[in-house]
Structure 1
Amino acid sequence: MVQVSAGAADSGDPPRSGRVRYIRDDIVPSAQRMVLGRALSARRTLLGLKQGEVARLLGASVSKVSRIESGQHQFKAQDLARLFTIYRIVDPAEQAELRQLAEEANRQPWWQPWSAVAQKHLQAVVSFEEIAQRIRVYEPLHLPGLLQTEGYARAVITNGTTQSSHQQALIDLRMERQRRFEMADEDKKLICVLDEGALRRRYGTPQIMHRQLEHLIELAASPRYVIRLAELDRYDLPVYIGSTTIWEFAARILPDIAYSENFDGGLIIQDEEQTDARKKVFDRLRQASLSPQRTVQRLKDLASSRYYR
């Protein structure tokens, strides 16, 4: 199910930048398709065309044009060629650039082998995660997936509602996401606020938790990870932000996108005001949390006092 907030395209008017979607089990936006859709939307806006006008010239529905621009529709060569005519794109270099974007958008993603077991909102997360340059994340109930050891991931996944036959595949997907994050451009960063309550909530055996804390200490030594801890006994931290991920993209190929996950789906927020508000609250939480150096010391204390071997 995809729910779109008021203000989305209907009578031929272009969608507002403020789209909020709750994704559960329907077609989801792909980051790669959104890059091309954003470029086409910008061209349409420059020409002063409404989606309804483009739909009529394209011989399609307004819904199709909206889905193309929002990254929910696979691009076809004939549609792109007709859009070149409608949008007066005659420069061979510009056409070649858009065809390249279309090729990337239609290319089978690396996570395709997991598509049968990964929920639709998880596939969207992996899509944005892949091309984001900077990721900010706070999870109040457990550690973010990019920080989990295999043992901790297994404990989290098997404790959830996932079918037992799918559990190992999802663990493998999580480990592959981590590997690809590590192999990405060195400028790619994860800025994470850990919740001390999540660290005190045990997933798996004490040995699994001890190894997880050791792993966090190891990651904290890498410039790719900025890890801070929100103390459990601090009453004034803005933890009400809840589960939050914010993706930021290089060269502004996409505007910043916020994401909040819950029991059976995820909320993707593209509204600039709402995303900016979440960024500000996240930064307040980050600044009020322990420094990276004090976070490492707290992790060591927890490992020795609570989850000692």
Structure 2
Amino acid sequence: MLRNTLLLVMLLGTLSSCEKEIEYKGKELNNFLVLNAKLTEGETIRIELTRSNTIFENKAIKTIGDADVQLFIDGEYVETLQAYNFFKDAPNYNQEHYSGEAYYYLYNTESVKAGSTYTIKIKHSDYNDISASTQVPSKADAWIKNIESENGNLNYTVAIKDEPGKNFYRLRVKGCYDYQTINGVNETGCTYLGYHSVSTKDPVLSFNRIIDEDSFTDYPDNVYLLFDDELFDGETYELKFSIRGEKTDDADIEIIQLDENLYRYYNTVQMRDYYEDYAFSEPVRVYSNIKGGAGVLGSNNSHLMTLENHN
């Protein structure tokens, strides 16, 4: 009994000697600016500016409407952007996710141009300055080469002529379907298809890996249907995929060329969503190119191909 008591006292002494006080500096509780904007060739620029939430705050989105937001194009100052109240423009929008008003910054003097570099610099008296840049990619040189119908599926071959150097792409498919309303009226609806509706064994849509029926892999789904040109740099590549049971006369195919910022952002988002349910996996940090803050400033250029003209 005495021996067991001595062992217990020694164990407690060992555990207590392992304690160490760490001074908490509180730096992690500082809020910072979050910039999110996706620039699309041919469209106006819209910027969403919010601030981060600490672990002790609620998750409501807090937008910033009184910042100094400056736009530069190809290194030249262009304009200080004005903030607009989103809820006044869309009064029926669900406001429960926001704290207070919701603002966005708009530049509609001219549309986004391919090849130009856009830089955003933001100042606010309560937060650190932030900035980011993106160069708008060119439109992908792509065309629908072949379509075959097989067992209720449409099998596509889309040719992509890639320029030398690093290039990043995204596939989007808009499919149409017939349905009947509650009044018995036959209608046709069109929507972008989720990745579950697009079937493929093409390696570029499988993160440049060969996939067969016997393969077992613990890897994220390619939710955004992203791919790069690692396997066909500077060459013409034939991308193959299938969609199920869609109408051929109304389907649209988009090959979107992304800048690297947007590509890495989408890729890390889908990796985070996949691994967050795994208790023993390392946390995935979502990519950001915002200096001094968080979020992403990216750009893209879409090539829309309809089945009517096949180009």
| TM-score normalised to structure 1 length | 0.25
Q: Which has the higher helix share?
A: 1
| TM-score normalised to structure 2 length | 0.25
Q: Which has the higher strand share?
A: 2
